[in-house]
Amino acid sequence: MNDIDQLIISEEFEGTDVSLLETLDHVLNRGLVIAGEITISVADIDLIFVGLNVLVSSVETAHEVLRKHETE
Amino acid sequence: MKFYIYCFAEGLDRLNKSPRGISGARVQLLKMEDLAVLVSVRRADGLALTHKDAFAHNAVVRSVFKQTTPLLPFRFGQVVTGQQLRNYVSAHRQAIKARLAHVRGCAEMNVRMIGVRENAPPPVVKPAKPVGPGTRFLLEKRKEFRGDEWRAAQTAELSEWFSEKLGNLTRDQQIFVVPSERVVVAKADHLVERSHIAEYRTKIARAIEERPETRFMVSGPWPPYSFANIELEFGSQFGVS
């Protein structure tokens, strides 16, 4: 079972890699930190922004919502 | 020898079955006083961030999460020596125990929400003529101040809304509102007792129906990543890098 299939309430997220993004958001942005400064080399540049991309995607969706709202 | 660390756990004497850790390494359970620490031996210098290893980190944490709570997950990438880990546990034992007690029996649920900002203030009028650096600075400060005020109000409003809808189902809550002039983008992290997860889902689904203008996404249960931080950093005291 993946981390997100328990409950997704919003058609915007269906068929997306939300599960992937959610996992990376938790693993990279949250959790206990012992080493104040760690060095991680990034093989896949996209990954470093993945935690933010969850929100970036959301902002894009929000702008879409906003556009619809303004045209109504 | 260095260790890559996955999580602290309490009441864990052995691992039932653990997936492979980062870089395919075997996961071991270290006992430090009455704490269990899940680690992999890390021989290589440096650490590469890959999808595979990020998922391996989470898989190890989740395997323990299925077996026992409480646990405190570490963020990806924590590598320390055995002595540094022992020093850390010894120095912060009380804080770790307090945090473990806080998350005992609980899972984390996350809510993300996106909506149109209904009460957006009129934009700050740009001066018709070019202005000096002092005026520019003050205009920026004014904009920032208004944004902070709005975020604080929005956070308070959401906190009240969740409290009203979820009652005493949450043991702890964190709300973060993203600064934006036109939309509301927010996330809420809830610490919920495992036995109350089904009830939480029912109540949050009902609450969401009341806000059809807002898009929501709810995920969980997660190990308590967002509630693990004991706000103490090893590096500042031990010079770890």
**Residue A15 pLDDT class (50, 70, 90 cuts):** very low
Statement: residue B236 has pLDDT above 70:
no
| Angstroms from A1 CA to nearest CA on chain B | 11
Residue A66: CA count within 13 A, CB half-sphere: 18
What distance in Å separates the CA atoms of residue B128 and residue B119, rounded to the nearest whole number?
26
Closest CA relative to residue B228, chosen from B64, B13, B2: B64
Q: Which of residues 83-142 of B touch A (CB under 8 A)?
A: 84-85, 88, 110, 112, 114-116
**Residue A52 pLDDT class (50, 70, 90 cuts):** very low
Q: Do A38 and B47 touch (CB under 8 A)?
A: yes
Is the CA virtual torsion B151, B156, B158, B159 positive or negative?
positive
What pLDDT was estimated at residue B196?
95
What is the ipTM for the molecules in this complex?
A: 0.78
What pLDDT was estimated at residue B131?
78
* Number of inter-chain CB pairs under 8 A, A vs B: 177
Q: Which of residues 150-189 of B touch A (CB under 8 A)?
A: 178, 180, 182-185, 187
Q: Does B200 touch chain A (CB under 8 A)?
A: no
Chain A residue with Cα closest to B204: A9
Average pLDDT over residues B37-53: 82
CA dihedral B190, B161, B98, B192 (to 10 degrees): -40
Q: Which of A59-63, B41-45, B123-127, B187-191 has the lowest mean pLDDT?
A: A59-63
**Residue A42 pLDDT class (50, 70, 90 cuts):** low
Interface test with A, best of B6, B10, B49, B96 (most A CBs within 10 A): B49
Average pLDDT over residues B91-107: 93
Q: Has this prediction a pTM greater than 0.80? A: no
What pLDDT was estimated at residue B53?
86
Locus of tokens 């004497």: B13
